[in-house]
Structure 1
Amino acid sequence: MTETATSRTATLRARAEIDLAALRANVRTLREKAPGAAFMAVVKADGYGHGAIPCARAAVAAGATWIGTATPEEALAVRAPESGIPADVRVMCWLWTPGGPWREAVEAGIDISVSGMWALRELTDAARTATRPARVQLKADTGLGRNGCQPADWPELVGAALAAEREGILRVTGLWSHFACADEPGHPSIAAQLTRFREMTAYAEAQGVRPEVRHIANSPAVLTLPETHFDLVRPGIAMYGISPSPELGTSADFGLRPVMTVTASLALVKEVPGGHGVSYGHHYVTPGETTLGLVPLGYGDGIPRHASGAGPVLVDGKWRTAAGRIAMDQFVVDLGGDTPEPGSEAVLFGPGDRGEPTAEDWAQAAGTIAYEIVTRISSRVPRVYVNEGPVGQPGDE
């Protein structure tokens, strides 16, 4: 096992341990699901809370040849020389607003997603002054209703992009879209979107577009819809070892291992009498004489307040539950008379190997999805990276 500069023996209030061997193994498992497609490792939102750059490097070591980001700032950080991402790994960015850093992205060689004419106009204006042609991917709205070009507007966008390509200021490198309900098995929108995607890509290609890649498969589609894999797949949450939908199966069902483990050191253990109110609003009152443990994490650290009274924690080998309101910096668990020492480990979630809760357990407690649980863990919780070595080192068996 290898670890970042933060020592494993250092005293930390809390930590989010990121197992990069697990991430590399997940990438290999997902690549096996789509052996004929290139692999884009999606590291938006700081790698779903895991750390974009370390996770991008680990994914590349396991065979990813593309990195996917949402914002231009994320893409430029991945493309920066200090990131350590090889220059031949392509980087794509898809969430642009007017006035964005178009020229910087063009000159960095980033694949820029365009969904409408306003974006194409801003991009082409920037590309005319850049030192290299822009790499552009046209996004089709096949039914998600978010970003992407509507079918009725597709001919205009394709035609304008081809005109700019003939001018030599850009190259259309990709055609792509995104599913709305791939995480809901059998949903009729899946087949409808796939048909629409085939129609829209066929139109673009008939007009002269020669894309390097066509892609629509997100995590659930990679796992369950092989007909959607095309030239490239874009796993996001699955790369971090979390199932995109409990309806599809658990992480273990897909051969994936959760990458993040969040722990804290108990800040206090004390005896209290029965009838003692706990935390704001006294929504929990001790049913009898007991012991309380103080976990020094709260919604300021990304622990969902909606999980008050339900969030599970492993302390001293037993599952405990957040007693009363989760506050900004801390919450309380009822230890039922047990007296672990202050400093004892409280495991909020992890892979589940030691009987600890998982991110999915917290999602259920908070009425949300596991994506949100890991992504919202704030920068106040130090990330500690373990098993950072390349594929083939111990921990990659």
Structure 2
Amino acid sequence: MSQPATDHRGATPPTAPRPAVRSVPAIRSTGARLHVDLDAVAANTALLAARTPGALMAVVKADGFGHGAAAVARTALAHGASWLGVTSLDEALALRADGVRAPVLSWLNPVGADFTAAIGHQVDVAVPSAAHLAAVTRAGVGARVHLHLDTGMARDGAAPSDWAALCRAARRAERAGQVRVVGVMGHLGCADVPEDPANAAARTVFAWGLGEARAAGLRPPLRHLAATAATLTDPAALHTMSRVGAGLVGIDPSGSTRLSPALTLTAPVVGVRRVAAGTAVGYGHAWAAGRATTLALLPLGYADGLPRVASGRAEVALRGRRHPVVGRISMDQVVVDVGDEAVQPGDVATVFGPGSAGEPTVSEWAGWAGTIEHEIVTGIGARVARS
């Protein structure tokens, strides 16, 4: 049912009928819907698995990049992945609670994390410092760890100056039967630009780190440096495993490979009005109609993940054609200028999709917002229904 017309301040005009009041559910009432194409995830996984000579870790952090961690995990495992990766232990334990039993690595945890639970649920953990190693050894016997080396990003991972000592301490813990060092990991900060000299420098640091681990007496079977972009563009960065997250859902940061986008976001038209030239739209009257036109109202906004900064640039698809979003994107709603199109309440707009029918893509929304695709797909709010 369409809502009564409102003026630009949100007040109901005096002549408008008073709407009936009824109780409604308190959650997911916008009507917007996010559809996940798991066939696309399957195809991307198979392509990426074919690009690496080693194992493929499917990274399903941040709820599978906003696509559903368990569903993406199961799909990836069925199409070429043999490992799973997440940041926090909470994410790893949620997979276990969902019945996922594949090997899983968690690599970003505070020293006070529940490493006892990690051991009990057979979750591998990354160790980026001597303090983390001590916490893991205190948690119990049998922890499987991946020593994490900072190869040039100055964030997670042990600094090269601390690396040799960490390797020696890990070897002592291994000899004492407290842990098993099964992996060494690093990360590339500039892999989306394959020719960037920082990549070669990082590979050199990683090779040195592997040598130091070996000198300390460690023999980790898993060595992983490459994520999506390096897996697709940098054979020198491939070791016994690659960690791929964005690529699973159709995002290639390097822009080198055509992958299959896996998300489609739609929203119903909840209001339509014909307006005269000069009619202002939204907060601040940032846009005014240059001619008589028809405006369609969609019930989603920046609280649902549409970046407000894309106001004035974004488009959606309605009735097989693109139309501009006009005025400022609000918390809960956007207005679309459909011109003389005979749009009706209940028509469904495609906010973004794979682009195969001419609709906007996640990549375009990222461009309109001046950000990356990762931020768009992980930002869709909880009140948008998933299917």
Cα distance in 2, alignment partners of residues 185 and 22 from structure 1? 25
Partner of 2:99: 84
Q: Within 5 Å, give how 1:184-199 maps onto structure 2.
A: 184-199=193-208
Report the counterpart of residue 5 of structure 2 in structure 1. none
Query: Could you say which structure has the greater relative contact order, defined with CA pairs below 8 angstroms and 6 or more residues apart?
Result: 1
CA contact (8 A) 1:274 1:286 kept: yes
User: Partner of 2:244: helix, strand, or coil?
Assistant: coil
Q: Following TM superposition, by how much is the alpha carbon of 1:294 offset from its aligned partner in structure 2, in angstroms? A: 0.5
Shift of 1:275: 0.6
* Aligned-pair identity (%): 45
Asked if structure 2 preserves the Cα contact closer than 8 Å seen for 1:93 and 1:113, the reply is yes
Match for residue 299 of structure 1? Answer: 302
Distance in structure 2 (CA, Å) of the matches to 1:308 and 1:143: 36
Residue by residue over 1:194-237, the C-alpha shift from the partner in whole angstroms, topping out at 9 and shown as x without a partner, is 01100111110122111120000011001101121100011111
CA RMSD in angstroms comes to 1.2
Quote the Cα distance in structure 2 between the aligned partners of 1:112 and 1:343: 49
What is the aligned residue count? Answer: 359
Q: Which residue number corresponds to residue 353 of structure 1?
A: 356
Query: CA separation in 1, counterparts of 2:344 and 2:251?
Result: 32
In the aligned structure 2, how far is the partner of 1:150 from the partner of 1:109? Answer: 27
**Residue of structure 1 aligned with 2:367, choices 357, 364, 369:** 364
Q: 1:120 maps to which residue?
A: 133
* Displacement after TM superposition at 1:12 (Å): 7.4
Q: Does 1:337 align with 2:350?
A: no
Give the CA deviation at 1:169.
1.2
Could you say which residue in structure 1 is the equivalent of 2:107? 94
Could you tell me how far apart the structure 2 residues matched to 1:196 and 1:188 are? 13
- Please report how far the alpha carbon of residue 155 of structure 1 lies from its aligned counterpart in structure 2 after TM superposition: 1.2
> Partners of 2:238 and 2:353 in 1: how far apart?
30
Q: Deviations over 1:140-191 (max 9, x none)?
A: 0110111011111111111111111111111001001000000013101000
Counterpart Cα distance in 1 of 2:273 and 2:266: 20
Whichever residue aligns with residue 300 of structure 1, its letter is A
Q: How big is each residue's C-alpha offset from its partner over 1:289-309, in whole Å with a ceiling of 9 and x where there is no partner?
A: 100010111011111111111
Q: 1:111 maps to which residue? A: 124
User: 1:377 is aligned with what amino acid?
Assistant: I
Indicate whether 1:156 and 2:165 are aligned: yes
What secondary structure, in the 3-state scheme, does the structure 2 residue paired with 1:322 have? strand
1:27 counterpart = 2:45: yes
Deviating beyond 4 angstroms after TM superposition, the runs of 4 or more aligned structure 1 residues are none
SS at match of 1:234: strand
In the other structure, the counterpart of 2:189 is: 180
Match of 2:144 among 135, 151, 164: 135
Q: 2:220 aligns with which of 198, 211, 214?
A: 211
**Residue 20 of structure 2 aligns with which residue?**
none
SS of 1:351's equivalent in the other structure is coil
Could you say what secondary structure the match of 1:264 adopts? strand
Contact 2:30/2:299 (CA < 8 Å) preserved in 1?
A: no
Match status 1:381 vs 2:374: no
1:91 deviation in Å?
0.3
Q: Note if contact 1:312-1:361 (Cα within 8 Å) is conserved in structure 2.
A: no
Q: What's the TM-score, normalizing by structure 1?
A: 0.88
Distance 1:183 1:41 in 2: 18
